[in-house]
Structure 1
Amino acid sequence: MPERPPHTHVIVFANEKGGTGKSTTAVHVAIALAAKGARVACFDLDHRQRTVGRYLDNRAETIRRSGIALPMPKHATHSSQTEEGFEETWFRLCQDADFLIVDTPGRDDPFARTAAALSNTLVTPMNDSFVDFDLIGQVHPETFQVTRPSFYSELIWDARKQRARQDGTTIDWVVLRNRLQHIEARNMRRVSDALTQLAKRVGFRIIPGLGERVIYREMFPAGLTMIDAKEFGQMGLAHVAARQELREMMAALQLPEADAPDAAA
């Protein structure tokens, strides 16, 4: 496993289930950090879907076409399937970067495991359903009490122990609850209770994420985010609510301030 550049805070978005808003959330975090003046790089490990890579390619084309200077992270997609290629791209992106945002495939992947082990902040987005909860834990079918952590939770537990032995640091594991508002209330409470139980057992934090909004899908072709809403289009109530969600999520992530001179802007 390659060493981590000490000056770069690595944020890895990882979930072996698809459809959780992982890539959309990763891009929004990257742009939000870049908009504050941080030097941000993005590494898309999913060479099949390449959602983050395409999102940022679309953004670069919008900047070229419109002439508007939007915050733009540098980015790369992991096209090589060798450890050497992974390490070369990893270190290239970390050069002069305050943050490295890594988006992983929605499946088990050896490079995703390596990225998780190298992370400072590990974010696992999930929807509020027991289908998604099954990734990290199992519940009793009648009482909905947690019966055991899943293989994935044990994998992250082992990665955290390995990091502690390696350099004495810890991985801040964050479970991010996306798309909350369309979940039936009783089911939401059951999932919330199960998450709280499991968090005490395996040691992750639970924070609110982004809602289920059409606007997130509509912005993809232009590579835009809610950070850019004032520059492109009107600010309706949905936009205002979405920007507030993003602000709350960024605060809950508890990321360090960048060392860049204008990071507080």
Structure 2
Amino acid sequence: MADPQVIVVGNEKGGAGKSTLAIHIATALLHAGRRVAIIDLDLRQRSLAKFFANRAAWMAANAQALPMPSEPDMGDGKLLARAGEDEQVARFDEAFAEARLTADVVLIDTPGGDTALSRLAHARADLIVTPMNDSFVDFDLLGQVDPVTLELQRPSIYSESVWEARKQRAVERGGSIDWLVVTNRLAVAEARNRRRLDSRLAKLAKRVGFRIGVGLRDRVIYRELFPFGLTVADLSNDIRPVSVSLAHVAARQELRNLMQAMGLDDVMIALDVAA
């Protein structure tokens, strides 16, 4: 069996939309027939794990069947969050080894901060997906700008973390890590601030080596479906817990575009067929 692809959703800032992206990536992969294993390293909040627990409960209550990922057991997240670093790493190693045995894709959601588990996960990635809101607050983790001219000065702490992960990966296993930065939760209206950010982001991409894609806009549908454990990829004639509008069609197209940006064209095609 070939090694699974390891996708890490990472950004050291909270509130950038990591878990929302992870949820949608996982469900899109599942609908394309991938065997997906999820590992939620946000040990206290565990939004990714809660989403799929909601999904199982909703399916049972509504006599529906939807694809589900596997989730290696790491125990009680809150207890593990208080454990020592060695124990956390050991539990992650066990979960990661189990996931690799059964999955085509291992999807890891990371916390909004610099932790030993997050650094370890990044070094094992084949693809890192980093969401970034259209704010210089978010950009500051990737690159520093001059406070007067707003011109790009240097890479910042998260870019340096990814660089270290790439070096560790090259030493331990060879190969390279693909890095995709997606602009996420964008407002619908065009803004001057976003144009400024796009310019600096393009310069930084050339300097530190990442690709740029478009993530998911700030749409009500993404929040509406979370309590059910559902995404726009799940909606059909039989599965429609909320009323469907043209905005939901646009949301589904955003998910297709995200899959294409990640290099998962076959997943994008599968979403087209299922639409």
Indicate the larger mover: 219-228 or 137-146.
137-146
Instruction: Please give the alpha-carbon distance, in whole angstroms, between the structure 2 residues aligned to 1:193 and 1:22.
Output: 23
2:254 alignment partner in structure 1: 245
2:159 alignment partner in structure 1: 153
1:209 alignment partner in structure 2: 215
Shift of 1:162: 2.2
Q: Tell me the matched-pair count.
A: 256
- Identical positions, percent: 51
The 5-angstrom pairing of residues 120-135 of structure 1 reads 120-135=126-141
1:62 alignment partner in structure 2: 58
Shift of 1:77: 6.2
Report if aligned partners of 2:72, 2:98 keep a CA contact under 8 Å in 1: no
Instruction: Please give the alpha-carbon distance, in whole angstroms, between the structure 1 residues aligned to 2:90 and 2:165.
Output: 21
2:270 alignment partner in structure 1: none
Backbone CA RMSD of aligned residues: 1.9
2:69 alignment partner in structure 1: 73
- SS of the residue corresponding to residue 95 of structure 1 reads helix
Normalising to structure 1: TM-score of the pair?
0.91
Deviations 1:188-237 (A, max 9, x none): 11000010010011001110000001111111111010111222144311
Structure 1: tracts of 5 or more residues without a match: 259-263
The 5-angstrom pairing of residues 13-92 of structure 1 reads 13-76=9-72, 78=74, 79=77, 80=80, 81=83, 82=87, 83-92=89-98
Instruction: Please give the alpha-carbon distance, in whole angstroms, between the structure 2 residues aligned to 1:36 and 1:151.
Output: 35
Instruction: Please give the alpha-carbon distance, in whole angstroms, between the structure 1 residues aligned to 2:227 and 2:63.
Output: 17
Going from structure 1 to structure 2, the CA distance change for 1:91 and 1:136 (only over 3 Å counts) comes to: same
The 5-angstrom pairing of residues 100-115 of structure 1 reads 100-115=106-121
Shift of 1:62: 0.9
- SS of the residue corresponding to residue 215 of structure 1 reads helix
Amino acid in the other structure paired with 1:24: T
Amino acid in the other structure paired with 2:96: W
Going from structure 1 to structure 2, the CA distance change for 1:221 and 1:76 (only over 3 Å counts) comes to: farther
Deviations 1:38-92 (A, max 9, x none): 1011100111001111111000111111111111111246434412211111111
Normalising to structure 2: TM-score of the pair?
0.88
Shift of 1:256: 8.0
1:225 alignment partner in structure 2: 231
Amino acid in the other structure paired with 1:193: S
Report if aligned partners of 2:36, 2:107 keep a CA contact under 8 Å in 1: yes
